[in-house]
Amino acid sequence: MLINNKNISDELISKLISDIKKKKELSPVKDSLVQEELLKFLKQNTKILERFLKEKAEKSKEYELAVKTIRSTLRKLHGAFVMGVDYKKASEMISQGKIDEVMQMHESTKPRICVYQSLYKRIFSITGKPEVIVDLGSGLNPLSYNHLGCKPKYYAYELSANDVQLINLFFKKSGIDGKAEQKDLQNDLDLPKSDVCFMFKILDGFKMTSGPKFVEKLITTVDAKFIVASFSTATISGKRMRYPRRLWLEKMCERLNYSIERFEMADELYYVIGK
């Protein structure tokens, strides 16, 4: 494979992808998406790229660094929030109607379980009750459907094939007019029109890996009356951030002449953006 005019063996790229995906929570991510992030990393890190041209590259510290960095990027970018979910057991629990118990197993929904009703009531007091919701990088958030206080059509987009399968099972068993689909938003922004678009805890990752221009493209391209974006107010160590507000987002919305309201709930900062 040619990267920056350097020929890296396909075997080494394949091994890198395989080693990156050895982490259970990353195993559902498509190889093509892992390769895409890997190529970006190597193009930006020429010293590591040069080391990969030499013998026994897979034994080097540069190799370990590449694997570790790409894993971190995929977790932040693609919402790999899974906490050792047993998907077979989760499917059985959904069939038994134990929805909250399943949400307890997933880091994207666990912190919100006790506040979902209050959260949606607060959001919809600003947006009005939606008829159509689009949920980007959804994790298992669609399983909170019964806490919405309304019955909208629901489109969920997520990179984890396992999450998509669980969401569609939930929709089917619950008789909900909804559909989940596996999608890479960096390469596909073909989305249905909606009243409200959820972007829970995905914009920091996109800003880090794809840059603020992509975040602006995502926000301006989505055909929604309102976007609800959320961000963690805690650091990786669990301490509260000293400055949790995303001023870059506030300034972007001001420049785009979008209305914006913010509030905090359960260690998350929410922005309701009116387009």
Taking only the tens place, the pLDDT of each residue in 201-225 is 999 888 877 789 999 999 999 999 9
- Same structural domain, 138 and 203: yes
Give the C-alpha separation, 134 to 146, whole Å: 16
Q: At which residue do the structure tokens 């794809």 appear?
A: 210
In a domain, 84, yes or no: no
Number of residues in the chain: 275
- Same structural domain, 10 and 134: no
**CA-to-CA dists, residue 139 to 72, 75, 78, 172, 180, angstroms:** 17, 12, 9, 17, 10
Give the C-alpha separation, 236 to 232, whole Å: 10
Give the C-alpha separation, 238 to 24, whole Å: 23
Q: What is the pLDDT of residue 80?
A: 43
In a domain, 248, yes or no: yes
Which token pair is 259? 């209305």
84: phi > 0 → left, psi -120 to 50 → alpha, else beta; which?
A: left
- Same structural domain, 217 and 269: yes
In a domain, 92, yes or no: no
- Same structural domain, 171 and 270: yes
- Same structural domain, 199 and 254: yes
Domain count for the chain = 2
- Same structural domain, 120 and 66: no
In a domain, 98, yes or no: no
Give the structural domain span for 177. Answer: 107-274
User: What does pTM read for this prediction?
Assistant: 0.77
Q: 61: exposed, middle or buried (C-beta count within 10 Å: 0-12, 13-18, 19+)?
A: exposed
- Same structural domain, 64 and 126: no
Q: Are 109 and 83 in contact (CB under 8 A)?
A: no
pLDDT (tens digit per residue) in 229-269: 999 887 655 678 888 899 999 999 999 999 999 999 988 99
Give the C-alpha separation, 25 to 274, whole Å: 34
Nearest to 78 by CA among 153, 178, 190, 187: 187
Which token pair is 25? 């929570």
In a domain, 156, yes or no: yes
Phi and psi at residue 211, to the nearest 5°: 95, 160
- Same structural domain, 67 and 151: no
- Same structural domain, 142 and 213: yes
pLDDT (tens digit per residue) in 30-88: 787 788 888 888 888 888 888 888 888 888 999 999 999 888 887 766 554 445 578 88
- Same structural domain, 50 and 155: no
